[in-house]
Structure 1
Amino acid sequence: MMKKRVLLVDDHKIVRSGLRTLIELEDDMAVAGEAASGLEAIQLVRKNDYDVVVLDISMPDKNGVDTLRDLQRIRPELPVLILSGFAQEQYALNLIRSGCRGYLSKDADPDEIIKALRVILAGRRYLSLELADLLASELTHPSDKRLHETLSEREFQVFFKLASGKSPTEIADELFLSVKTVSTYRARVLEKMNLKTNADLTYYAIKNELIS
């Protein structure tokens, strides 16, 4: 039986090592590559075939939000499991909308990580109990959404970059948009979140632990 090929993407070697040890205990999957950054992950995916990617959010040079977007563009059929130090309620809903097949925090039980990988490799989404509750709450009480959860996928990307200190010109280059379009998205984000300045966006992101 051919083992499923897993690509690990995390800037901490000790995290990759722990995941490798966990995955290599399984008979049906193996770690076929490791990347310490989003850019490195993109390069590997362009050159090699993988069956699933395990992706962190907080990384140097290209964060997981942008890396997920690029992976969707380059290999839309390649499933991605987000394994992050951020709690599920902070990012999960936005990233599920952006195309990831599952989201777990790094303190998840090892058995759940393996279960999530198998579910995703079988072509389905993996929803933890916590994430299923979040989605159910969104359906039954949509007015209870936190402000950033009301944003569309593209609006969330622009919000995240503005909150991280990127200029409209930098964002336009990274997202292949015009500066005018970025400014339009910025205006929508500020209106939806009832905020006035980029500094307000940064404060919101820090307060809600979306950036550190």
Structure 2
Amino acid sequence: MIRLLIADDHAIVREGLKQLFALTSDITVVAEAMNGGEVLERLRGGGIDVILLDMAMPGISGIDLIRRIHNHDGAPPILVLTMHNEPQIARRAIKSGVVGYVTKDSEPEVLLAAIRRVAAGGRSIDPALAEAMLFESNAASEQPPHEQLSDRELQILQLLAKGLSVNEVADALAISNKTVSTHKARLMEKMAFHSNAEMVRYAVTAGLVE
């Protein structure tokens, strides 16, 4: 039996997933979490074979949460289930250590197959996304501008673009507001942003925020 932790801040999504898994004979949901803090708390209890993770939850989330999960001894494999189907976001997630990446518009069979493959020690990427990643040029000149940002800078860009203040970003990431301001200044310089409005427009256009 594959013991699953579902991490998603939307209750209706969690309930829908539980109904799907209830129809299987080899997958059971043993824990749920609606934010990054709860994910880390549930991990301390053990007994989890796979984490099904939404990358866009309140508080600790995304690449930062993935790295914190990996800091746990014997951390289970992470399968991302997300709305983001952009190749560059998937690449960052995979680079940070996830072993599977499925988008929420995938067919149920694709998700079930991914869970089983990840639980067995394999890797799984949404087929349509894998194709997009395969054919996407790796030439630096053709990469989107935000690819030059560090993971932390990109994370802060996304949070600021969602409307969070510097202090709110600092609280969400458990870092100082001075550190946030420093990263913000660097990313503004790298991206040649002259205002917060430009930053928000870019993030929305590039699909970095929902």
Aligned to 2:150: 152
Name the SS of the counterpart of 1:32 in structure 2.
strand
Aligned to 1:50: 48
Pairwise CA distance, 1:74: 3.5
Report the AA paired with residue 44 of structure 1.
R
Aligned to 1:8: 6
Contact map agreement 2:59 2:172 (CA 8 A) in 1 = no
Aligned to 2:66: 68
Name the SS of the counterpart of 2:81 in structure 1.
strand
Tell me if 1:121 matches 2:119. Answer: yes
1:156-184 deviation line (CA, Å, top 9, x unaligned):
22222332344445545554555554444
Contact map agreement 2:85 2:129 (CA 8 A) in 1 = no
1:27-52 deviation line (CA, Å, top 9, x unaligned):
33321112233332222122233111
- CA-based RMSD: 2.8
Provide the C-alpha distance between the structure 2 equivalents of 1:60 and 1:33, rounded to a whole number of angstroms: 18
Correspondent of 2:202 among 186, 201, 204:
204
Specify whether residues 161 and 12 from structure 1 end up closer, same or farther in structure 2 by C-alpha distance, changes over 3 A only. closer
Contact map agreement 1:102 1:116 (CA 8 A) in 2 = yes
Contact map agreement 2:106 2:126 (CA 8 A) in 1 = no
Give TM-score, length-normalised by structure 2: 0.81
Correspondent of 1:28 among 26, 29, 37:
26
Specify whether residues 42 and 93 from structure 1 end up closer, same or farther in structure 2 by C-alpha distance, changes over 3 A only. same
Moved more, 17-26 or 100-109: 17-26
Specify whether residues 60 and 158 from structure 1 end up closer, same or farther in structure 2 by C-alpha distance, changes over 3 A only. closer
Pairwise CA distance, 1:63: 4.1
Aligned to 2:39: 41
Provide the C-alpha distance between the structure 1 equivalents of 2:154 and 2:96, rounded to a whole number of angstroms: 9
Pairwise CA distance, 1:204: 1.6
Aligned to 1:131: 129
Give 5+ residue unaligned stretches, structure 1: none
Specify whether residues 158 and 174 from structure 1 end up closer, same or farther in structure 2 by C-alpha distance, changes over 3 A only. same
State how many pairs are aligned: 210
1:66-125 deviation line (CA, Å, top 9, x unaligned):
433432334573221111223344732222223222222111011110111122223233
Give 5+ residue unaligned stretches, structure 2: none
Contact map agreement 1:4 1:51 (CA 8 A) in 2 = yes
